[in-house]
A = this chain, B = another copy of it.
Amino acid sequence: MTNESIIESLLFAAGDEGLSAEQMASVLDVDVQTVRNVVEQMAETLLHDETRGVTITKYGTEYRMMTKKENASFIQALADKPSPKTLSQAALETLAIIAYNQPVTRMEVEDIRGVKTERPIATLAARGLIEEAGRAEGAGRPILYATTNEFLDAFQLNSLDDLPPLSEGEVSIQQEADLFFGRFEEAMDEMAEE
């Protein structure tokens, strides 16, 4: 694949946080100046290509991929349409993080999701699924969020203990099993010889 292709993949997957030329250079195995040149060239091309809907802009040291501002009205129009699902994925993700980590601050949720989370939190609060649960220690004393009884109701849970565990640690059991597999067959062969 070309450097352009890889850079597009990286910037796309990086989300709103963007990536520095140094970060991209480290995985592309080219020098930083080359990355800068390619990215600036890509940004230039994107700007003038009428069939493209994204641009690359630089904030501080980070390059970010964003939608073209000419298309903002269409995204707004999409935002104004109610989601066909009763809760959007953004809201469900946010809810999952709060449910499994409560009480938790918005910053912590955003850290896990890697994206701004004001709106999903407002949505969830408006629906009565989450509520403020005091304030965290430390700078700014940010609001802590927790799920409500309505949350338990909506998801048909008796209590938070009913939340299914998120990880089962299957891989390590599998590995242990594989490790033992060899020994077991050896023992079998020895017995068969007797």
Contact = CB atoms under 8 A, between A and B. Distances in A.
Interface of A: 1-2, 4-10, 12-17, 19-20, 23, 26-28, 50-54, 65, 67-68, 70-71, 74-75, 77-78, 81, 84-91, 119, 122-123, 125-126, 164-168, 170-171, 173-174
B12 A65 contact: yes
> Chain A binding site: helix, strand, loop or mixed by DSSP?
helix
Contact of A78 (B10, B68, B87, B88): B10
30 contacts: A1-B50, A1-B68, A1-B71, A4-B51, A5-B52, A5-B53, A5-B70, A6-B53, A6-B71, A6-B74, A7-B53, A8-B53, A8-B54, A9-B74, A10-B53, A10-B71, A12-B53, A13-B78, A14-B78, A17-B90, A20-B84, A23-B84, A26-B78, A27-B77, A87-B170, A88-B170, A122-B164, A123-B170, A125-B164, A126-B166
Nearest to A23: B78
A91 B17 CA distance: 11
A182 to B, nearest CB: 17
Nearest to A50: B2
B168 A50 contact: no
Could you say how many copies of this chain the assembly holds?
2
Given A17-B89, A65-B12, A126-B165, A26 B75 contact: no
Nearest to A171: B85
Contacts of A86: 171
A131 to B, nearest CB: 11
A16 B89 contact: yes
